[in-house]
Structure 1
């Protein structure tokens, strides 16, 4: 099964997340199919906090990919 989820990167106590498409059997930061965006919870005022390629996310959802709970919230925020 394919899942849309976050992969954690960045320094200790300062995370940076990549939004990826991956198989559920792969590790959190392991092998992935495609990177469709990022989420930076500690973005400064002049930086973008969320960037998602919505058209690619919708493509994978139509193919049967499931979203994580956190990503459902991020999709709603990014579409506003």
Structure 2
């Protein structure tokens, strides 16, 4: 049985509240789970202590027994110092696309032409 430490959504429409649960990977997102080990309330301020609450002892127990955290839960665990999350980098993400490069080159040519015309 593959276990996941993941989020189960609760709360009402447009007012999300999540429970951090231990669940079988095949069970539905809000379905059956084995144990509740924390909560996340994204509606609270980021510096609020009650925004993310984790039961560190139980989470460590489940990690030792092979449970795999999802990416979002791994971020919470890394902030709490329970697990280590490798930094991911995508150096291509911030670069402009082909069309943007073409527009920039065209604008540069127009600026150079205007400067040359003004110099004459």
Report the TM-score when normalising by structure 1. Answer: 0.90
- Which segments of 5 or more consecutive residues in structure 1 lack a partner in the other structure? none
Which of the pair has more CA radius of gyration?
2
Q: Pairwise CA RMSD of aligned residues? A: 1.6
Match of residue 11 from structure 1:
12
Contact map agreement 1:19 1:36 (CA 8 A) in 2: yes
- Which segments of 5 or more consecutive residues in structure 2 lack a partner in the other structure? 82-120
More strand per residue: 1
What displacement does 1:25 show? 0.9
Distance 1:52 1:46, change over 3 A: closer
Give the whole-Å Cα distance in 2 for the aligned partners of 1:73 and 1:2.
18
Bigger relative CO (Cα 8 Å, ≥ 6 apart) = 1
Q: Which runs of 4+ in 1 moved over 4 A?
A: 44-47
Give the whole-Å Cα distance in 2 for the aligned partners of 1:29 and 1:72.
19
Report the TM-score when normalising by structure 2. Answer: 0.61
Distance 1:46 1:23, change over 3 A: closer
Give the whole-Å Cα distance in 1 for the aligned partners of 2:35 and 2:80.
19
Q: Deviations over 1:3-54 (max 9, x none)?
A: 1000001111110000000001111000000000100011258771010001
SS in 2 for 1:73: helix
Contact map agreement 1:51 1:78 (CA 8 A) in 2: no
SS in 2 for 1:59: helix
